[in-house]
Amino acid sequence: MNAIERSSQITERLVAIYPDRRPLLVFESPYQLVIAVILSAQTTDAQVNVVTPGLFARFPTPGALAGAPQREIEKIVHSTGFYRTKARNIIAAAKAIHERFGDGVPELMEDLTSIPGVGRKSANVVRGVVYGLPSIVVDTHLSRVTNRLGLVSESNPAKIEQLLRKVVPEDVQTDFSMGINLHGRYCCSARKPDCQGCVLRDLCPFDPT
């Protein structure tokens, strides 16, 4: 079985066991998704979901958030960690969305990554979720699981994305990415992967012993 066939098999099985692959972040618009994704750096989606309802109730539009006082935003996002940088980034991101993109969230990778706080990972989340474009979101889970599966042997996120785009068929890239992410959370954990109970066991060369 070549790498393309393996990645297709992997995707099929993950889609079957994780039928709901929507992001765990709660959002009601593309703008809210961008802000939530920026806040999700170095913390859990659950923690972001604690602060975003209050944030978006107080600043419901990009224009409103763009003009928000930094100190007030720092207080609201404090529990997500790195609160000064995140407050600065989400204000600047809202400003960019408001002023450069007319309150809309752009689709092109280069436009998305020009928004403060939005890197390739975040841009891929937005492109996949909002626009249904093929996306490979290289986070800590995807990096770990795809290395264990032997689909890549690489730690650089940009290179992992590049390599996976070659072996995962385009029409299933988003399903693959979201499925692998969930598998990393619920089965193939960093410390104690549940290889005995894993549906990918026969496709995985990783030795847990």
Residue 148 touches ligand SF4, criterion: CB under 6 A: yes
The answer to whether 163 and 154 are in contact (CB under 8 A) is yes
Distance CA 55, CA 10 (A): 38
Please say which residue, 15 or 195, places its beta carbon nearer to ligand SF4: 195
The answer to whether 59 and 97 are in contact (CB under 8 A) is no
Least distance (Å) between residue 172 CB and ligand SF4: 17
Distance CA 179, CA 142 (A): 9
Applying the rule CB under 6 A, the residues between 184 and 203 that interact with ligand SF4 are 187-188, 193-195, 198, 200-201
DSSP string across 23-55: -SS--SSHHHHHHHHHHTTTS-HHHHHHHHHHH
Q: One of 139, 166, 171, 207 is an active-site residue; which one?
A: 139
Residue 204 touches ligand SF4, criterion: CB under 6 A: yes
Least distance (Å) between residue 146 CB and ligand SF4: 9
Distance CA 88, CA 41 (A): 14
- To the query of whether residue 121 is one of the catalytic residues in this protein, the response is yes
Q: What are phi and psi of 133, to 5 degrees?
A: -85, 155
Q: How many residues bind ligand SF4 (CB under 6 A)?
A: 14
Q: Which residue of 129, 136, 149, 152 would you call a contact of ligand SF4, by CB under 6 A?
A: 149
Q: One of 20, 103, 111, 121 is an active-site residue; which one?
A: 121
Classify residue 105 by its DSSP letter.
P
Ranges of beta strands (E only) in 36-195 are none
Least distance (Å) between residue 200 CB and ligand SF4: 4
Residue 145 touches ligand SF4, criterion: CB under 6 A: yes
- To the query of whether residue 139 is one of the catalytic residues in this protein, the response is yes
Residues that bind ligand SF4 (CB under 6 A): 145, 148-149, 187-188, 193-195, 198, 200-201, 204, 206, 208
Give the residue numbers marked as catalytic: 121, 139
